[in-house]
Each structure stands twice: as structure tokens, then as C-alpha cells.
Amino acid sequence: MMEKQTGRDAESRGMPPSQGPLVGVRVIDLGTMFAAPFAATLLGDFGADVIKVELPGRGDTMRGTPPVSQGISGLWAAMARNKRSISLDIRKDKGREILKRLIASAHVVIENFRPGTLERWDLGFQVMKEVNPRIVLVRISGYGQTGPYAQKAGFAPVAAAFSGLTFMQGEPGRAPVGPPAGMVDYMGGIFGTLGALMALHHVNMNGGEGQEVDVSLYESVFRFFEAMVADYDLLGRVRSRTGQMGQGSMPSGIYLCRDGKWVSMGAFTDPTFIRLADAMGRPDLPANPRFDTNDHRSKNREEIDAIVREWFSRHTMVEAMELLDRNGVPAAPVNSAVEIFQDPHFKARGNLLRVEHPVLGEITMPGIVPRFSATPGVVRFPGPVRIGEHNLEIYHQELGISLEELEILRSEGVI
């Protein structure tokens, strides 16, 4: 069974009590389209009070992002979970003043506008710091806040290309292939979350002041490419497309089985290669001077890869996995969504949460990562249905703005 967590009725006031290690932390989510909102979602999963700021009458762009059912985006429900929504036009004077009042009680602000946008609206970090000296401002952009390309537009596929990732993906001699949609945004969101937590630690443990955290999408990918950098720096070697064959240690790659199914396997160390050779019934391979060390196998990568591919071609996926698992060789079937929804390990780990949505009923969304033994995160709420769903709760009950003033702000398009 999938792990089930209960949301709340969209018309009810408030949310279930927060739990997790970040209870007491308030986050203002000014972002849109993946990276910044995802960082805020991760913080909300673990108990932070996340206030999602949406443009009045329009809302977040993700509200209309497929897949959409009954007028509700499933992506929005997952990305906006555990967040309270307010409508607020921070481009207007009154909107800026309200945002400042929220920042005064917040710990983290997260945004992913093009660099300089907040400053043009008179809402840059220095302005925020005057309101709250301890505030942490996480800024996620395509190329970062500085450098000659800072002002360039930078969505995830572009950042992947700039980072070097796209150049290395695909079949040799054919066009490069970009990563799955959104992956780079999610990576940037993870670094944004990491930066927010480290900056909060500095404030809380060291008595430090708040600060800006500058995250770029391309750097969030490039940071993983230590091997690519070392290859070029030390050997002058440019990593390029190797198709189904692995980039580094050999043998590794994606292998086609007799029944048309695929297995990803990596024998990245010499002891692992010995175990692979045993699984294949080829104990002679580790003794061959062409294959006895990782360096030798890398230099003869096409030859060893062909041997391994021929072995996979004679076995079904189940047969190959049984032999590899029995011998301790890292390998896994190449899963689609169908296999993921059926796999017992995904279910046992709570990777597929069933959450009650006020419109869609029970929906599935990715589970919470990482897992905490004492202060686990929880999906308390599947995302606000209405733009500004929590206006009354936050503006009137928490900020003390009168109902009459709220009506004026609404008529002026501020909220």
C-alpha cells in the first residue's frame, strides 16, 4: 500500500500543526516555476511555515502547468504543499509595505527573479535587512547574481547546456540530449535549501547577521562534474557523449536484455568487477592484463563493454538481476512510471504519498526526503486551491489589517 497522509478541507481555516525540525521557521516564497518554489517546498515539508506570494488575479504560473485535472495542476499541488497562499502585488507601493511587514517576522525569503528585479522594485536585500537584520535572502537565477551573463534569461535546459551536462549526454556522433525537464531546477532548489539552512545556522548558532545566498542553476549542475574538470585539467581529455556506455570507470552503462528490457549496471571498482566476472561466469576476465585494473578497463572500454553487452543479450532482465544481485554487483532495472508505482521498495520507503485533495480526491505525489527518525516531515496540506486562500488568516488575523482596509487593498489590486 502507498503511504497515506491526510490534507485538510480547502474552506477550513488554518492548517494541521507543523511538525519536523524546522517548526518555528517562517519562509516567504516569492518564486515561480520550479527552482525557488521547490526550495520552499523542501523547507515546508519539514515544518517551516511557508507563505506563498502570488500575483492577484493570476497566481503562480505553475497553477496551469500540466498535468491538469478538473482545473487543478497536479504539479502545483505537489509544489505548493504545506504552503499558505496570499495574493500580493509587490510591484505596488502598498504591496511592498505589506511584504516588509511579513519579512519583519520571517527568517527566509526565496526568489528566482532575474537579477536586479527586486532592486528595481525597491525590495533588494539591503531594504529587507533594514526591516529584519537576521533575514536570509535566497536568490536563484540562471547564471547567478554576478558575472557578465547575470542578466541573461536562464531556464533549466539552457543551464544544463551551459554547465557541460548536455554536451556529455546522447549517442556518439549524434546531437546532444538534454536532461529530463525540470531536473536542473530541482537541483538548484536543493542547493537553495542547503544555503538557507547554513545561513540560518550562522544566524542562530553564531549570532551572525542575515545574508544573501546566491544560487545559479548552471552551478548547481556543474558542481557535480569533478571528474570532467579533472579529466580536462590533468589529461587534456574532453568528456563527450558515450551513449549507453558509462562515462567513467568501466564496465558501466545501460544494457539491453534478451527480453527487450534494460538494466543499468556499474562495476566501478576492481573488487566489483571481480564479482561481475563471477556473475557472468567469466573468472578469466580479471586476470586479463587488458581488464585487470580500472585504468586498463577504461583504456579498453569498447572491448570490455562489448563483452558485457553480449552477456546481457543472452539473459532476460529477471535472470540478469538475479545473478548480479546474488554476486553483489550494483544494478537496477530501468524503471518507467509503471514499474515505479508497482515496485515494493518505493512503497516500503513511502516514496509515493497518497494525499487527500479537496478537489481531486486522493492524489499521489513524491514522498519526503530525507527521512528523520525523531522529527520526520509530513505533507499536512496538498497546496492551496484558490489564489490568496489564506489572505484573511495572514493579513487580518496575523498582521492585524482591518477588514475594511483589506477590501480597499483588494479593490486597488494590491491583494
Per-residue pLDDT tens for 321-341?
Answer: 999 999 999 999 999 899 999
Same domain assignment for residues 89 and 168: yes
Domain assignment present for 64: yes
Q: Which residue has the cell 533588494?
A: 124
Contact 34, 189 (CB under 8 A): yes
Is the C-alpha dihedral spanning 252, 253, 258, 262 positive or negative?
Answer: positive
Region for residue 33 given its phi and psi (left: phi exceeds 0; alpha: psi -120 to 50; beta: otherwise): left
Same domain assignment for residues 14 and 65: yes
CATH number for the domain including 77? Answer: 3.40.50.10540
Domain assignment present for 323: yes
**Which of these three, 280, 308, 333, is where a domain ends?**
333
Contact 354, 382 (CB under 8 A): no
pLDDT for 212 equals 97
Domain assignment present for 92: yes
Same domain assignment for residues 44 and 172: yes
pLDDT for 8 equals 39
Q: How many CB atoms lie within 10 A of CB 93?
A: 12
Domain assignment present for 7: yes
Domain assignment present for 269: yes
* Residues of the domain holding 242: 227-233+238-256+262-333
Domain assignment present for 79: yes
Whole-prediction pTM: 0.88
Domain assignment present for 203: yes
Same domain assignment for residues 209 and 75: yes
Given the residues 45, 49, 89, 185, select the one marked as catalytic. Answer: 185
Phi, psi of 265 (to 5 degrees): -140, 140
Q: How do residues 270-320 score in pLDDT, each as one tens digit?
A: 999 999 999 999 999 999 999 999 989 988 989 999 999 999 999 999 999
Same domain assignment for residues 50 and 178: yes
Residue whose C-alpha is closest to residue 188's, from 33, 13, 357? 33
pLDDT for 250 equals 84
Buried b (16+ CB within 10 A) or exposed e, 231-259: beeeeeeebebbeebbbebbbbbbbebee
pLDDT for 237 equals 87
pLDDT for 7 equals 40
Same domain assignment for residues 159 and 219: yes
Whether 60 sits among the annotated catalytic residues: the reply is no
Which stretches of the chain drop beneath a pLDDT of 50? Answer: 1-13
Domain count, the chain: 2
